[in-house]
Amino acid sequence: MLDELKSDALKVVGKEKKRVDTLDKVTGRTYYTGDIRLPGMLHAKVKRSPHARARIIRIDTSKAEKLDGVRAVVTGEELDIRVGLYVVDKYILARKVVRHFGEAVAAVAADTIEIAQKAVDLIEVEYEPLPAVLDPVVAYGKKAPLVHPELGSYEYVKAVFTPVPGTNIANHTKLRKGEIKKGFAESDFIVEREYTNPSVQHVPMETHVSIARWLAGDQITIWTSAQSPFTVRNLFCYSFKLSHKNVRVIVPNIGGAFGGKAGIHLEPLVAVLSKKAGGRPVRLVATREEEFSMLPCRSALTYRIKTGVTKDGKIAAQKMTMFWDSGAYADYAVNVTRASGYSGAGPYEIPNAWLDAYTMYTNKSFGTAYRGFGHVEFSWGIERHMDLCAQTIKMDPYEFRRRNTLKPGSITLTGEEINRNTGNVTRCLDEAAKAIGYGKLSAKEKARQKRTGMKIGKAVVALHKAPAMPPFTGTVVILRMNEDGTVTANFSLTEVGAGTYTSVAQIIAERLKFPLEKIKVSIDTDTEHDPYDWQTVASKGLLLTGNAGILAAEDLLSKAYEVAGQILRAKTCDLDNDDEKIFVRHHPKHSITFRQIAVGYAYSDGNGIGGPLVGVGRYIAQGLTNIDKETGQGNPALAWTYGAHGLIVEVDSNTGEYNVLKVASVFDVGRAVNPRSVRGQAIGGMIQGLGTAMCEGYIYDKEGRLLNINFTDNKIPTALDVPEEIESIVVETPQIDGPYGARGVGEHSMIAVCAALGNAIQNAVGADISHMPIRQEDVWRALKNKSSIDNFITRCSVGCRR
């Protein structure tokens, strides 16, 4: 899809453009699911479990049902329906047992939110608390109680996943490359360590919201804040055994998602409430506390890495074991495990690799997709470990990385050969290093150290990620020409905030040779009016939908040329278009405007030809395969986007206080379709990554109750937490099958920022930290050689502090 166009020949792609969705956003006119009011709409509230694991002895809803204005009450007992993305393991409401703190056990729909609240408060639930499994490594042990004793009877996607009945293993991904024993035997040093990180919330500013209306004849309409309307429809129909034509899913604008809205969540619950309330629409808005405790999070990870390194700085072998804490349900976590399984060594060549990645069920909030899809979590381990390896052989960590990066001719963990079009991670590292003045302190920095008494440290890290998606993922773009020659584009990504709609519009405009202002993209998505797309995830939207956009533009042009050829009495191969006109190349003034043929051309006597112009572009990922279940070998990667971060930090070697002074982020995006959007993704993701690095994470008590379910105790970065200086750089190694050479970069900016911080802190003051987030106290503890209080792993009484 790469036209051999020089960047200066491009008119729309590669240019800084205002986004197509922001005028309504800045003026407060954009509507989100929570802004929708339907006639007769009821309000729902949910009763949640106060226990991590318990048997439900009795639920008494009689008082709630008697309340005036209550229209429906449901409990798990009457809902023998399981839902699941890859493993069908989750009841709509907990049935017989609860498996995590905050799990929904009953729900009410009522005329007002006040009545719904009162009714929920009146529902009595009697529990018998059971011992909870709270650590993924403990869950792996033989003696651990089973979170899902019925795992063997669950349906799951057999081509891809491997749940192990009779255990807590929801999936086991294996990867075997080369000869691991030989690799270790050839190594001069063996470096082994365990790295951990907690569950983390996505924190979209808009919490999950769903509205459903279940009408006679099982005609269902769902309005929801979901990222992936077609996946919601598909999973909904699967679980309720309904035809896809009966279910309509509408997604207006979304107030941030980050993967947390990628699956199916509140939709089935509001649907059953509506059904029970006689078809009145029911609306459920998650409170922020519910967002933290009832809805999914990112999985915690315990990552053990054993690396064999030679004296001259080459990695000879690496054994990797990942215990992903999926929480109570498998959701996306099984696929995070798979994707991390084949990427888990970072952008480095490992000749001999052995990896086991386990998705473990525990009694905690369940893990789903989160920006980076596992790569943020494992990059903490891998990129800290790269520094440790370098220290072991007394080599500069930047140089050690350079020697091991994937280069043309390198073979990835899954057996894919890297070539010169794949992207250039070494270049990304070099640019990051240059941008922070790696390896030395400037005069200004030295003066600053003297002034503040703090020590300055620097680090560079590298990263990679390819879209994690089925190898046959496809999409469609439909272009319709309006009467005035403008074009309306329909496709079914959702505008989660990343700006993809604008980039796709730019690509379509470029190919049509239209000004961007003539292209309108339909932003809300409706499964009844818009064409299919799998999901808005994986940083694949730009590449797949962009390509489909090019094909749709070509289809529309070919149809327009056909009509124009007749009118202009020329062969279509002699036509060209520009300035909203189709003209004969040899006689440019001999032309016809698109407007004249937009909905059909009429001769002066009224005779018509042509008909309304549409263009359809279908695109499906090319040449990808599933990975082999035993060896992990295959070709799963649509496109590798490489990147690097350089980070400068100053640290107080006494108190552990630190300030991030600068972050320089570099990504090989192939082509920056809209540089301002790319920069927005680069900075926004980097700050989200710093949140993960500095302060975010779930804290449980030893009974498995989540202790920080709000912003008071689950802080995310504010404007004051932004580094003093930020630099955004892109390398452009065109992706041959990407639209105008582009590849996705929505997630990458978040990856490995955490390790950049950890490494820079160690560089500054020597504090050696293996768990994140890195709170100021953690730096202090490391400096004083105090045992870390890993209060995110549920070991101690209060807040898990020892």
Enumerate residues 643-662 that contact another protein by CB under 8 A.
654-655
The correct pick among 699, 751, 752, 760 for binding another protein (CB under 8 A) is 699
- Residue 756 as a binder of another protein (CB under 8 A): the answer is no
Q: Site for another protein (CB under 8 A): which residue of 171, 221, 708, 759?
A: 708
Alpha carbon 341 to chain centroid, angstroms: 16
Q: Which one among 11, 618, 702, 715 touches another protein, defined by CB under 8 A?
A: 715
Residue 270 CB, shortest distance to another protein, in Å, is 18
Q: Of all helices (H) and strands (E), which one includes residue 52?
A: none
- Decide: is 774 part of the binding site for another protein (CB under 8 A): no
Establish if 721 lies at the interface with another protein (CB under 8 A).
yes
User: Among 191, 436, 730, 756, which residue sits at the site for another protein (rule: CB under 8 A)?
Assistant: 730
CB-based burial label for 788 (10 Å; 0-12, 13-18, 19+): middle
Q: Looking only at residues 409 through 428 of this chain, which bind another protein when binding is defined by CB under 8 A?
A: 427
* Residue selected from 3, 78, 114, 218 as contacting another protein according to rule CB under 8 A: 114
Q: Is 479 helix (H, G, I), strand (E, B) or coil?
A: strand
Q: Is 794 in the site for another protein (CB under 8 A)?
A: no
**Candidates 84-92, 284-292, 401-409, 634-642 — which segment interacts with another protein by CB under 8 A?**
284-292
Nearer residue to another protein within complex by CB, 97 or 682:
682
Q: Which of 588, 711, 736, 766 binds another protein (CB under 8 A)?
A: 711
Q: Given the rule CB under 8 A, which of 25-33, 480-488, 507-515, 622-630 is the region that contacts another protein?
A: 25-33
Q: Which residues touch 51 (CB under 8 Å, ≥6 apart)?
A: 98, 101, 127, 129, 132, 703, 704, 705
d(CA 424, CA 670): 10
Question: β-strands 219-224, 209-215: how paired?
Answer: antiparallel
Name the packing angle between helices 333-343 and 375-392 (round to 10°): 30
From 327, 415, 474, select the one nearest 635 (Cα to Cα).
415
Span of 444-452, 557-565, 637-645, 778-786 interacting with another protein by CB under 8 A? 778-786
Q: Smallest distance from the beta carbon of 362 to another protein, in angstroms?
A: 19
Neighbours of 474 (CB within 10 A): 14
13 lines the binding site for another protein (CB under 8 A): no
Under a CB-based contact definition with an 8 Å cutoff, are residues 499 and 680 in contact?
yes
By CB atoms closer than 10 A (0-12, 13-18, 19+), residue 618 is middle
Q: Which helix (H) or strand (E) holds 778?
A: helix 776-783
Q: Which of residues 480-509 bind another protein (CB under 8 A)?
A: 496-499
| Residues 421-460 as x/- pattern, contact with another protein by CB under 8 A | ------x---x-----------------------------
Total residues at interface with another protein (CB under 8 A)? 98
**Chosen residue from 27, 153, 243, 607 binding another protein by CB under 8 A:** 27
Would you tell me how many other CB atoms lie within 10 Å of the CB of residue 391? 15
- The values of phi and psi at residue 190, to 5°, are -115, 125
According to the binding rule CB under 8 A, does residue 253 interact with another protein?
yes
Q: Is the backbone peptide bond immediately before 773 cis, with ω within 30 degrees of 0?
A: yes
Residue 132 found at the interface with another protein (CB under 8 A): no
The answer to whether 790 contacts another protein (rule: CB under 8 A) is no
Single residue of 722, 768, 790, 795 touching another protein by CB under 8 A: 722
Contact characters 195-214, another protein, x per CB under 8 A: -------xxxxxx-------
In whole angstroms, how close is the CB of 646 to another protein at the nearest point? 13
In whole angstroms, give the CA distance from residue 754 to residue 372: 12
Nearest to 392 by CA among 306, 289, 456: 306
Provide the residue type at 764 as one letter: A
Among 258, 323, 354, 380, binds another protein (CB under 8 A): 258
Which of the stretches 241-249, 281-289, 332-340, 378-386 binds another protein when contact is defined by CB under 8 A? Answer: 281-289
Q: Which residue number, 43 or 401, has a Cβ lying nearer to another protein? A: 43
Nearest CA among 711, 703, 693 for reference residue 771: 693
Place of tokens 């990667």: 637
288 scored as a contact of another protein (CB under 8 A) = yes
- Binder to another protein among 5, 10, 411, 707 (CB under 8 A)? 707
Amino acid found at 761: I
519 near another protein (CB under 8 A): no
Q: Is 508 helix (H, G, I), strand (E, B) or coil?
A: helix
Residue 87 or 800 having the CB closest to another protein: 800
Q: Is 741 in the site for another protein (CB under 8 A)?
A: no
Rounded Cα distance, 185 and 170, in Å = 33
Residue 41 within binding range of another protein, rule CB under 8 A:
no
Q: What is d(CA 137, CA 169) in angstroms, rounded to the nearest whole number? A: 11
Q: Which position among 11, 32, 178, 576 is part of the footprint of another protein (CB under 8 A)? A: 32
What is the distance between the terminal CA atoms of the chain, rounded to a whole angstrom?
57
